[in-house]
């Protein structure tokens, strides 16, 4: 059984993330979405909220689970018996960044392979900072994030300028 991990902050969860989760769930026997706790920056949503959004939007995917991770992803993977790290790539900048991380992870644990999935064209421009800006000004997030996330973002950020 091949267990894969898709790590990220998911702040916010986007339709691009959800597309990658869906695609990866069809490739691997089990996919763990690992929600990272980033203590160095203040996010829009708490870790518990981000986990809840992912659980709600993936509830029909039987082979997907959601867990919180802190520390090194390779340590999380080892504890989860995972051997594949899934990453999404939107552009060449992402590729170069992910290439360095893949090399470091492989150095830390030779059993970890990284698989990069290209972002679907309609999501290649989506970034957390752009989404926060759109939400702050009450813009339409319908095609960019799941409905539960859109409502929560607007409620939290609208008028927060």
Ligand-binding annotation for 28, yes or no, is no
Instruction: Specify the CATH number for the domain of residue 82.
Output: 3.40.50.620
The per-residue pLDDT for 40 is: 64
* Domain region containing 7: 3-124
33 within domain boundaries: yes
81 within domain boundaries: yes
Ligand-binding annotation for 67, yes or no, is no
Upstream peptide bond of 57 is cis (omega within 30 degrees of 0): no
Ligand-binding annotation for 73, yes or no, is yes
As for how many domains the chain has, the answer is 1
Q: Is 17 a catalytic residue?
A: yes
Of 121, 120, 131, which is closest to residue 24 (Cα–Cα)? 120
The per-residue pLDDT for 106 is: 96
pLDDT digits (tens, 9 = 90+) for 15-31: 999 999 999 999 999 99
130 within domain boundaries: no
Q: Is 23 a catalytic residue?
A: no
Share of the chain above pLDDT 90, in %: 83
pLDDT digits (tens, 9 = 90+) for 56-109: 999 999 999 999 999 999 999 999 999 999 999 999 999 999 999 999 999 999
58 within domain boundaries: yes
Among residues 23, 78, 90, 106, which one is catalytic?
A: 90
Q: Residue 129: is its pLDDT beyond 90?
A: no
Ligand-binding annotation for 128, yes or no, is yes
Q: Is 128 a catalytic residue?
A: yes
28 within domain boundaries: yes
153 within domain boundaries: no
Contact status, residue 4 vs residue 84, Cβ threshold 8 Å = yes
Ligand-binding annotation for 10, yes or no, is yes
Over residues 34-63, the mean pLDDT reads 90
Q: Is 41 a catalytic residue?
A: yes
20 within domain boundaries: yes
Among residues 23, 65, 78, 128, which one is catalytic?
A: 128
15 within domain boundaries: yes
Confidence class for position 153, pLDDT limits 50, 70, 90: very high
Among residues 26, 41, 42, 59, which one is catalytic?
A: 41
């Amino acid at each position: 059984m091949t267990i894969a991990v898709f790590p990220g902050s998911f702040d916010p969860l986007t339709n691009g993330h959800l597309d990658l989760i869906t695609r990866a769930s069809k490739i691997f026997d089990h996919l763990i979405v690992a929600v990272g706790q980033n203590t160095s920056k203040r996010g829009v949503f708490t870790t518990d909220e981000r986990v809840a959004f992912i659980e709600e939007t993936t509830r029909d995917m039987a082979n997907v689970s959601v867990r919180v991770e802190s520390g090194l992803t390779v340590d999380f993977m080892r504890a989860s018996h995972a051997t594949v790290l899934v990453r999404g790539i939107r552009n060449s900048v992402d590729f170069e960044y992910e290439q360095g991380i893949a090399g470091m992870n492989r150095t830390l644990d030779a059993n970890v392979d990284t698989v990069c999935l290209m972002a679907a064209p309609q999501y290649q421009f989506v970034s957390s900072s752009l989404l926060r800006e759109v939400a702050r000004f009450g813009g339409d997030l319908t095609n960019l994030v799941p409905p539960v996330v859109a409502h929560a973002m607007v409620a939290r950020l609208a008028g927060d300028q």
